[in-house]
């Protein structure tokens, strides 16, 4: 069943529910130190945290199990205004109960989170456990949407490290992009995968020469329709397709090869960087029906990627898009949705802006890297 239409981004809302559920996991503790399994948190536990989060931030002091030592759990949330306004109305929560269910299921079922929560509850140290949901604050330095930071000021416990979570919902698969006009943008996005596309630059420039001469791409237009009537948009897509088709052939040759070659290594490095900014990060994908999938973007995942074979495909029409699938030992595309690893997608926008106080439009292309179902199951 399709999610109810709401005036807020579901990814932003999932951040808030996720942070609340993680906090509830650290607060709800066992009754005795010998219990190996923590009690399950409930939707009500999550709601209690979220209610305080949306008012003034959540702070809870909780005793270590069987001890007078007190830990402090805090949550701070910094999400866009629409998401904050949506969550400030309690009756809205039922419209996205699937997101809360997914967050609660993660908090109850994730072994590393539960091990950390249990360990901090019995270590007899005054721990400060800080959870921050601020996915929009530091996109250049980290890919984390929710951070868990542990500090034991009087007697540091180095066993319990900070955790970064990068969250994805359906429609929010993007993990990297390169935007703007110019062939150099194609060079940037493909060179980091070990591909040199400069050989096709002359064909790209020739395709666009007439439109550059008419300054189609530097002009500002009074409407999107005026921009589209120039034909410049279709021509940009056709030119981009030349580059994408060339890159697809080279990428397929490298990724389908059984050896652990340079293309595979750079491809793996690019994915790890795009997913994590090279900071150990766990991806959490909300898969619908209250289910979540996880993937740690680390050196172990890099090794997995380098050791696999892949198939690269492009459809003959539509926006240029390279689809990358897992292949079997013979190099043939594997069946099923979990074989679809990722895609590199070209999207042309007629973006709006301001000039001399008036709204204007211009062509603005973007190249997206988007994780698919197979990224979480490979």
Residue 69: burial class (beta carbons within 10 Å; 0-12, 13-18, 19+): middle
Strand order in the sheet with 309-313: 174-179, 358-371, 340-355, 321-327, 309-313
Q: How far apart are CA 108 and CA 101, in angstroms?
A: 11
Residue 344 lies in a domain: yes
Is the Cβ–Cβ distance between 278 and 264 less than 8 Å?
A: no
Q: Phi/psi of residue 109, each to 5°? A: -105, -10
Decide if pLDDT at 136 tops 70: no
Q: How far apart are CA 247 and CA 85, in angstroms?
A: 44
Sign of CA dihedral 207, 208, 209, 210: positive
Q: What is the pLDDT of residues 178-237, one digit of tens each?
A: 999 889 999 999 998 889 999 999 999 888 887 767 777 788 899 999 988 988 899 999
Residue 157's pLDDT is what? 65
Joined tokens for residue 351: 């973006």
Mean pLDDT on 249-265: 95
Mean pLDDT for all residues in the chain? 90
Residue 41 shares a structural domain with residue 145? yes
> C-alpha dihedral over 298, 301, 305, 308, to 10 degrees?
160
Q: What is the pairing mode between strands 146-151 and 70-77? A: unpaired
SS3 state at 193:
coil
The domain boundary, picked from 117, 136, 168, lies at: 168
Residue 172's pLDDT is what? 59
Cβ count within 10 A of residue 153:
9
| Buried/exposed code over 97-129 (b: 16+ C-beta within 10 A; e: otherwise) | ebbbbbbbbbbbebeebbebbbebbbbebebeb
Residue 118 shares a structural domain with residue 195? no
In the chain, % helix, strand, coil (3-state, to 5) comes to 40, 25, 35
Range of the domain at 50: 10-168
Residue 242 shares a structural domain with residue 314? yes
Residue 25 shares a structural domain with residue 39? yes
Residue 141's pLDDT is what? 47
DSSP label at 290? T
Residue 135's pLDDT is what? 60
Q: What is the pLDDT of residues 284-322, one digit of tens each?
A: 888 877 888 888 888 899 999 999 999 999 999 999 999
Mean pLDDT on 25-33: 96
Residue 203 lies in a domain: yes
Total number of domains in the chain? 2
Decide if pLDDT at 262 tops 80: yes
Question: From the centroid of its chain, how far is CA 219?
Answer: 34
Q: How far apart are CA 266 and CA 251, in angstroms?
A: 11
How many CA within 13 A on the CB side of residue 15? 28
Joined tokens for residue 236: 């940009």
Residue 124 shares a structural domain with residue 77? yes
Residue 163 shares a structural domain with residue 210? no
Residue 292 lies in a domain: no
Residue 283 lies in a domain: no
**CA dist 71 → 33, 64, 67, 114, 125 (Å):** 16, 7, 11, 16, 8
Pick from 118, 101, 121, 119: which is nearest to 18 by CA? Answer: 101
Residue 152 shares a structural domain with residue 181? no
Residue 345 lies in a domain: yes
Joined tokens for residue 322: 């390279």
Residue 140's pLDDT is what? 45
Residue 30 shares a structural domain with residue 155? yes
Residue 2 lies in a domain: no
Residue 163 shares a structural domain with residue 182? no
Confidence of residue 143 (pLDDT cuts 50, 70, 90): low
């Amino acid at each position: 069943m399709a999610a109810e239409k709401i005036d807020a981004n579901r990814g932003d809302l999932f951040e808030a529910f996720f942070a609340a559920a993680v906090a509830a996991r650290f607060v709800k503790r066992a009754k005795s130190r010998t219990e190996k399994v923590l009690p399950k948190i409930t939707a009500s536990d999550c709601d209690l945290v979220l209610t305080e989060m949306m008012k003034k931030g959540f702070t809870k002091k909780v005793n270590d199990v069987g001890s007078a030592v007190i830990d402090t759990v805090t949550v701070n949330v910094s999400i866009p205004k629409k998401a904050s306004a949506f969550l400030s109305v309690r009756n809205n929560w039922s419209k996205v109960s699937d997101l809360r269910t997914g967050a609660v299921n993660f908090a109850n079922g994730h072994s590393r989170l539960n091990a950390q929560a249990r360990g901090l509850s019995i270590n007899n140290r005054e721990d400060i456990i800080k959870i921050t949901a601020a996915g929009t604050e530091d996109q250049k330095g980290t890919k984390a949407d929710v951070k868990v930071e542990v500090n034991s000021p009087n007697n540091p416990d180095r066993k319990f490290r900070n955790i970064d979570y990068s969250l994805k919902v359906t429609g929010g698969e993007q993990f990297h992009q390169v935007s703007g006009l110019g062939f150099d943008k194609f060079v940037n996005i493909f060179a980091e995968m070990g591909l040199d596309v400069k050989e096709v630059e002359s064909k790209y420039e020739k395709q666009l020469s007439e439109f550059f001469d008419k300054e189609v791409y530097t002009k500002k237009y009074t409407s999107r329709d005026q921009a589209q009537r120039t034909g410049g948009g279709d021509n940009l897509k056709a030119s981009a397709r030349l580059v994408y088709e060339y890159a697809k052939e080279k990428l397929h040759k490298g990724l389908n090869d059984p050896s652990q070659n340079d293309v595979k290594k750079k491809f793996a490095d690019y994915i790890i960087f795009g997913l994590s900014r090279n900071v150990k990060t766990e991806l959490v994908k909300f898969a619908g029906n209250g289910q979540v999938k996880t993937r740690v973007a680390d050196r172990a995942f890099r090794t997995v990627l380098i050791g696999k074979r892949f198939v690269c495909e492009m459809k003959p029409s539509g926006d240029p898009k390279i689809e990358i699938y897992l292949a079997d030992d013979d190099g043939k595309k594997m069946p099923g949705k979990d074989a679809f690893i990722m895609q590199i997608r070209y999207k042309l926008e007629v973006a709006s802006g301001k000039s001399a106080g008036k709204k204007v439009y211009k062509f603005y292309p973007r190249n997206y890297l988007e994780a698919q179902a197979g990224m979480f199951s490979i």
